[in-house]
Chain A
Amino acid sequence: DAKTTQPTSMDCAEGRAANLPCNHSTISGNEYVYWYRQIHSQGPQYIIHGLKNNETNEMASLIITEDRKSSTLILPHATLRDTAVYYCIVRVYGQNFVFGPGTRLSVLP
């Protein structure tokens, strides 16, 4: 079973920041937080991952709380192309990814 809890769906206005939350209250010290997204019927796309510190790349920012029990993926300026299912996954290096149902993000014009 997935170790994370995400909202089923969210809406975001185009051009605004999309903030996607994820709860992982049972995360252990050596588990990383990964985010992927899947646009309809395509292969999942890697977005970002982190262990303790906040991370930023060209796609998004990942904010992890100090107790590591939750995190937020931030898409700074959402576009219609960001409409997808977003998966938050926690895992130890070398273990399988376990995908939950994710959050269906709809970016609205």
Chain B
Amino acid sequence: EAGVTQSPTHLIKTRGQQATLRCSPISGHTSVYWYQQALGLGLQFLLWYDEGEERNRGNFPPRFSGRQFPNYSSELNVNALELEDSALYLCASSLGITGYPRTDTQYFGPGTRLTVL
């Protein structure tokens, strides 16, 4: 069974540009989560999508946004990039809040390393 996939693996942008990161969940999973991990820091929750709806949002500015498509894949968009946005962006998926059995253990992808110059 294929795991969570993310693309691209690496992304280099300059300040002020926009970045788009993509995530494909495990087959059958309807929830997708996004996390940011800056160098040497812990994982910070960004966004949670389930069944196409945004369920929760972490303490990040509005220039971090995303969406979930009908096939449950997801995009994370970061507008007006700043140097401090350089980080590993991780996507995770789970069965979702309406899934059965009732378990929402999250499984993570390998991440996209975003570098802002």
Measured CB to CB, the closest approach of chain B to A46, in angstroms, equals 6
Binding site for B on A (CB under 8 A): 34, 36, 41-46, 49, 93-94, 96-102
Nearest B-chain residue to A94, judged by Cβ:
B97
Q: Count how many chain B residues have C-beta atoms less than 8 Å from C-beta atoms of the other chain.
A: 23
Nearest A-chain residue to B88, judged by Cβ:
A41
Residues of A within 8 A of B35 (CB): 99
Residues of A within 8 A of B33 (CB): 96-97
In the complex, the answer to whether B43 meets A99 with C-beta atoms within 8 Å is yes
Which of A36, A45, A93, A96 has the most chain B CB within a 10 Å cutoff? A96
Residues of A within 8 A of B104 (CB): 93-94
Assess whether B64 is interfacial by the CB under 8 Å rule.
no
Tell me if A's interface is mostly helix, strand, loop or mixed. loop
Residues of B within 8 A of A42 (CB): 110-111
Assess whether B109 is interfacial by the CB under 8 Å rule.
yes
Q: Which of A43, A45, A93, A100 contacts B111 (CB 8 A)?
A: A43
Cα A96 to Cα B57 in complex, Å, equals: 9
In the complex where A94-B97, A96-B48, A96-B56 touch, is A44 in contact with B108 (Cβ < 8 A)?
yes
- Taken residue by residue from 3 to 47, chain B's Cβ proximity to chain A (1 for < 8 Å, 0 otherwise) reads as 010000000000000000000000000000101000000110100
In the complex, the answer to whether A99 meets B42 with C-beta atoms within 8 Å is yes
In the complex where A94-B97, A96-B48 touch, is A44 in contact with B105 (Cβ < 8 A)?
no
Beyond A43-B90, A43-B110, A97-B33, 4 additional contacts (C-beta under 8 Å) are A96-B45, A96-B58, A97-B45, A98-B45
